[in-house]
Amino acid sequence: MSKHLKFFIDGAWVHPIVPASLDVTDPSTEEPFTTISVGAKADVDLAVAAAKSAFASFSLTDRAERLALLERILEVYNERFEDIAQAVSREMGAPLSFARDAQAWAGRAHLEATIAAFKIFEFTEQRGTTRIVREPIGVCALITPWNWPLNQIVCKVAPAIAAGCTVVLKPSEIAPISGLIFAEVMEAAGTPAGVFNLVNGRGPEVGQVMAGHPDVDMVSFTGSTRAGIIVAKTAADTVKRVAQELGGKSANIILPDADLVTAVSKGVEGCFGNSGQSCDAPTRMLVPADRHDEALQIARQAAEKHKVGDPQAEDTVLGPVVSDIQYNKIQRLIETGIEEGALLVSGGPGRPDGLNRGYYVRPTVFGHVTPDMTIAREEIFGPVLSIMPYDTEEQAIEIANDTVYGLAAYVQSEDIEHARRVAARMRAGSVYLNYPDWDTAAPFGGYKQSGNGREYADWAIHDFLEIKGIVGWGE
């Protein structure tokens, strides 16, 4: 609790310049469990100044020095692994097993992937008599979300350090405690003063100030498309680089030659994971029209296996969603789906039976969803699946791509060549064939209004680099 009221700036834990605080709510009880300080422009100015000062020397460090730092960060992260998992479970309601096996694990896995990529990353190349040099872009403002806190923090901080950049991080004020623990990890790993800084706060008072700050050279933002547009507009005045990972409405095409039971059951699981709070969740399931009713029954049975309840209970599969705002939005969209004529197959409005408090949502499946319905077009960000029938493969591809988003797409087929042909036509940054394991070396990012830039491993390191051509270098 002592550090919850402080920021980490220039290698030290400091109070905000102007005291201000915000309660952090446990979504399983709807009660505050701690309080954080929230910053303002003066705190951002202090953190950016520290990062700018540190950049002068840190940008000149060699690969060996930065690699050693990343390896120390990984070592301390592993020591604090359980603390991180417990914090994520408390602040966002993730079942403890999921907080360990997915949330905290993701931070570890991305550190490992970044380290592996960094060891062989080429910062220079020769093209004739011209030398191509990749150099750190500068001071980076990192704005991360609440739904995968460690995943997104590490996906930004680790490659920025590998590149030789210095950073100011603003974690989500909704789930900030895991970010504060990560700052403790950075401190314990011996990160040089000013290389990593953390300021908590709300988007308008801290995030937008970071995005528009004249001494910030790059903004990396993960969050909603609405907020991403604000960040991009704010950053435009200083013509800085903006990398964004935004919303999604990902389609899951189940081709006629797929095993329907497996494809539908795993599709439900993929949609509902993390209580549906994943930007790349397969929320639109496209099934052959002649097997639509069969798919609905399979989905209903799969949905009913998702026990909703206390995140600390061993048999809980889904915890609450993160906040009252999210809960109310999801309820509104479920009710809209019913009003617009979708068939409610499972779940529906309200809390699950026996849960009278907490932001718990009934795992919900809709059938007979048409492409024009609200639930087929808006990002719901909850455990709500829309199943849509299609008559031909061409129609399925058209429906899948008929969205302003383009973060991910999913294709299921017993014939891998068939799946590959369909994948080639998906307008999405990631396409997943037959539910593969998570690959932390694959590029992650979106087309269209799902953002720009790519994260994970060497893809992320590239985003934090400028490219310099030294013409006349010689052979």
Q: Are residues 336 and 359 in the same domain?
A: yes
Please state, for a pLDDT cut of 70, what percent of the chain lies above it: 100
- Report the interhelical angle of 63-79 vs 105-119 (nearest 10°): 160
Q: Are residues 331 and 229 in the same domain?
A: no
H or E element at residue 156: helix 149-163
Q: Are residues 299 and 397 in the same domain?
A: yes
Q: What is the CATH number of the domain that holds 96?
A: 3.40.605.10
pLDDT at 262 over 70: yes
Residues 323-344, mean pLDDT to the nearest whole number: 98
Q: Are residues 140 and 93 in the same domain?
A: yes
Residue 2 lies in a domain: no
**Measured between alpha carbons, how far is residue 111 from residues 162, 165, 190, 221 in Å?**
11, 16, 16, 19
Q: What is the CATH number of the domain that holds 267?
A: 3.40.309.10
Q: Are residues 390 and 464 in the same domain?
A: no
Residue 173 lies in a domain: yes
Bigger pLDDT: 12 vs 1: 12
Question: What was the pLDDT predicted at 340?
Answer: 98
433 DSSP assignment: E
Residue 137 lies in a domain: yes
Q: Are residues 171 and 305 in the same domain?
A: no
Residues 81-110, mean pLDDT to the nearest whole number: 98
280 DSSP assignment: T
List pLDDT tens digits, range 98-120.
Answer: 999 999 999 999 999 999 999 99
Q: Are residues 155 and 255 in the same domain?
A: no
Residue appearing with tokens 């604000």: 230
Q: What angle do CA 271, 275, 280 make, to 5 degrees?
A: 45
Q: What's the order of all strands across the beta sheet hosting 124-127? A: 124-127, 130-136, 465-470
Residue 445 lies in a domain: no
3-class DSSP state of 139 = strand
Question: E strands within 38-186?
Answer: 124-127, 130-136, 139-143, 166-170
**Residue 139 is part of which domain span?**
7-246+450-470
Q: Are residues 300 and 212 in the same domain?
A: no
Residue 1 lies in a domain: no
Q: Are residues 73 and 174 in the same domain?
A: yes
Residue 51 lies in a domain: yes
How many domains, the chain? 2
List pLDDT tens digits, range 158-182.
Answer: 999 999 999 999 999 999 999 999 9
Residues 396-425, mean pLDDT to the nearest whole number: 98
Residues 112-136, mean pLDDT to the nearest whole number: 98
**What residues act catalytically?**
245, 279
Residue 293 lies in a domain: yes
Q: What angle do CA 53, 57, 63 make, to 5 degrees?
A: 135
Q: Are residues 90 and 40 in the same domain?
A: yes
pLDDT at 449 over 60: yes
204 class by beta-carbon count within 10 Å (0-12 exposed, 13-18 middle, 19+ buried)? exposed
Question: What was the pLDDT predicted at 3?
Answer: 79
d(CA 130, CA 275): 52
Q: Are residues 326 and 422 in the same domain?
A: yes
pLDDT at 2 over 90: no
Question: E strands within 265-407?
Answer: 284-288, 343-346, 364-367, 384-390
d(CA 424, CA 410): 12
pTM of full prediction above 0.95: yes
Residue 400 lies in a domain: yes
Question: What was the pLDDT predicted at 475?
Answer: 85
Q: How confident is the model at residue 395 (pLDDT cuts 50, 70, 90)?
A: very high
Query: Are the beta carbons of 92 and 146 closer than 8 angstroms?
Result: yes
pLDDT at 300 over 70: yes
Question: What was the pLDDT predicted at 446?
Answer: 97
d(CA 16, CA 39): 6
List pLDDT tens digits, range 216-257.
Answer: 999 999 999 999 999 999 999 999 999 999 999 999 999 999
